[in-house]
Amino acid sequence: MVAHIPQRTVAGKSVLQRQRAQLGGALVLAVIIPFVIRMNFPILGTETDFVLAVAGNTFALVLGHYILRSLTVYPGIVAGFYVLPAFVISYSLVLIAFWSFRLDYSRFLFLAGFVICVLWYFFVSLWLQRTRSLRIGVVPFGRVDALSDVEGAKWTTLSRPEPKSLRSFDAIVADFGTALPDEWERFLADCALKGIIVYHCKQLQESLTGRVAVDHLSENTFGSLIPALVYVKLKRMVDFIFALAAAIVLLPLFVGVAIAIKLDSRGPVLFRQRRVGAGGEPFRVVKFRTMANDSGGSTSTEIERAITVEDDPRITRVGRFLRRTRIDELPQIFNILAGEMSWIGPRPEAEILSKWYEAELPFYRYRHVVKPGITGWAQVNQGHVAEMHQVHGKLQYDFYYIKYFSPWLDVLIMFRTIVTVVTGHGFR
């Protein structure tokens, strides 16, 4: 799967690759066609009902289009998977507005607009996925060699700066940190003038892999190492509200799980472990116990007991189900209420493992600049890890999350977490 690259379509490319064409097609199908139907069948509603439905459809469609674009900016995205969630959100917001102001609208036209809109964007995403393959021209100077190992695009090294070759590429990539010959500088300027996107090799590699290299600290889009503080505060408020609601709704489930754990094996219902949170401060995470109470054995080291391996014999029968469905993580809702965790963020590591990783990996502590989460970018991309080389990859995913810390990335992680729970990807 490849990253979504903003569509600045060059000559010879399909019209459907243009964002304006996608939005225009949706408006014609979901707004204009219902208008024609209404003109021929006035029985469908009053003039006012019709006008409100058309206005609501138009607003919801445009909003959903930009929500979908925002979600598919991130790597590894098949846009079709996010079509329904994006437009459910936008149309739901319009419905809330209708209900709040007690406005009457044509339910038939509004529903028809929603269905047509979703089907249109499903068709567009499926068509582009089947027919479109990114071709990227590489300016052969600086640190661009590593791009050839990145999947998700066809890389073509440019031999000379010829503007006529631009028609063959979706984008051009260059190392902006190296001194380029004058003719190549003019070539890149011509690319920009012709509407061809020119990427810095570092940003494009991050976009296609979803990871940030950990050979040095990497600033975010604001040129700072600290994430946007406004969103940090807003996220804390949203976390608390949803955690409080979830704790009330899930109380019966908690009781049922507790009984199942007690009947399945001896030991406490909850598992508590000292882990490292935001700012490097330790806290005690709370989970449902999924292992035998005497797990570890007298011959195991503390680090070995903290690592869960594939098909770990210490996991109980009920524990395996809880891990696969991620239900064992739900008691961390109380960690969220206490302000120690968030719904989304880098997973908190056991304190003993965190100290071990800090001794082995540079800048490991930087992942503690945001609150740890129940789910995160590394979890939906990589799953559970234990080996040192896997931890290095996980850290790259965590750095990516911190660098591109935003509500849209959190929404994307939320949707992909649902897929992870359904498929059981990455559990141990």
| Measured distance between the N- and C-terminal CA atoms of the chain, rounded to whole angstroms | 25
Q: Are residues 153 and 127 in the same domain?
A: no
Q: Please indicate, yes or no, if residue 191 is contained in any of the structural domains.
A: yes
Asked if residue 336 and residue 272 are part of one domain, the reply reads yes
The confidence score (pLDDT) of residue 10 equals: 40
**Do 121 and 186 lie in a common domain?**
no
Q: Where does a domain end: 174, 209, 244?
A: 209
- Residues 50, 371: Cα–Cα separation, whole Å: 47
The DSSP 8-state label assigned to residue 371 in this structure reads -
Q: What is the model's pLDDT at position 54?
A: 86
From the list 124, 30, 135, the residue with the least C-alpha distance to 72 is 124
Are 141 and 172 part of one and the same domain? yes
Report helix, strand or coil for 9: coil
In a domain, 8, yes or no: no
Determine, yes or no, domain membership for 150. Answer: yes
Question: E strands of 289-415, at which residues?
Answer: 342-344, 373-375
Residues 284 and 399 in one domain: yes
Same domain, yes or no: 153 and 92? no
User: Can you give the pLDDT at residue 1?
Assistant: 35
Let me know whether 116 and 78 are in one domain: yes
Q: In 178-220, which ranges are continuous DSSP H helix? A: 182-193, 201-209
Q: Are 174 and 147 in contact (CB under 8 A)?
A: no
Radius of gyration of the chain (CA): 25
216 falls within a domain: no
Angle, CA of 412, 414 and 415, to the nearest 5°: 70
Ranges of beta strands (E only) in 84-219 are 135-138, 154-157, 171-174, 197-200
Give the model's pLDDT for residue 41. Answer: 64
Q: What per-residue confidence (pLDDT) applies to 31? A: 80
Is 287 strand, coil or helix? strand
CB atoms under 10 Å from CB of 315, counted, come to 19
Residue 246: what pLDDT? 94
Q: Is residue 55 part of a domain?
A: yes
pLDDT value of position 237? 92
Domain boundary among the residues 131, 150, 174 is at 131
Which among 112, 131, 150 is the end of a domain? Answer: 131
At residue 6, the pLDDT reads 44
Distance CA 295, CA 314 (A): 6
For residue 42, the 8-state DSSP code is G
Report d(CA 407, CA 235) in Å as an integer. 8
Residue 5 lies in a domain: no
Structure tokens at 145: 């060699």
Residue 1 lies in a domain: no
Range of the domain at 190: 135-209
Buried b (16+ CB within 10 A) or exposed e, 341-380: bbbbbbbbbbbbbbebbeeeeeebebbbbbbbbbbbbbbb
* β-bridge mates for residue 138, sequence order: 157, 173
pTM given for the model:
0.67
The count of structural domains within the chain is 3
Which pLDDT score is estimated for 384?
A: 66
3-state secondary structure of 105: coil
Q: Is residue 177 part of a domain?
A: yes
Tell me, yes or no, whether 261 and 409 share the same domain. yes
User: Are both 153 and 123 inside the same structural domain?
Assistant: no
Q: What is the pLDDT of residues 180-202, one digit of tens each?
A: 888 888 888 888 777 778 888 88
pLDDT at 411: 86
| 403 CB-near residues (< 8 Å, 6+ apart) | 206, 212, 218, 219, 220, 221
Q: Are residues 267 and 377 in the same domain?
A: yes
Q: 249 and 391 share a domain?
A: yes
pLDDT mean by block of 10 residues, the chain; 428 residues: 41 63 85 73 65 88 88 64 86 92 85 90 81 79 82 82 74 86 86 80 79 63 63 90 94 94 90 90 92 59 57 81 88 95 92 82 80 91 68 83 86 85 62
Residue 3 has a pLDDT of 42
Same domain for 234 and 370, yes or no, is: yes
